[in-house]
Amino acid sequence: MGTVGLKLMDGASVTLSGVLYIPEVEGSLISVAKLAEKDVVAKFSKDK
């Protein structure tokens, strides 16, 4: 387990801890629950 830093669309940064790196997984997965712990609001759209 480790940490990862993310830059948000509004320019803010957030660090998530307790993340896993799994090289076999194609693409990126992110936990909405972990974002919510940091008071990040996730917005989903079919266009982005």
Q: Which two tokens stand for residue 40?
A: 């990040």
**Distance separating alpha carbons of residues 34 and 16, to the nearest angstrom:** 7
pTM exceeds cut of 0.85? no
Instruction: To the nearest 10°, report the CA torsion of 28, 34, 40, 41.
Output: 70
Q: Write down the pLDDT at residue 24.
A: 93
pLDDT in tens, the chain (48 residues): 899 999 998 999 999 998 888 889 998 888 888 899 999 988 889 986
Q: Write down the pLDDT at residue 48.
A: 63
Q: Where are the domains of the chain?
A: 2-37
Q: Which two tokens stand for residue 20?
A: 């896993």
Longest pairwise C-alpha distance within the chain: 32
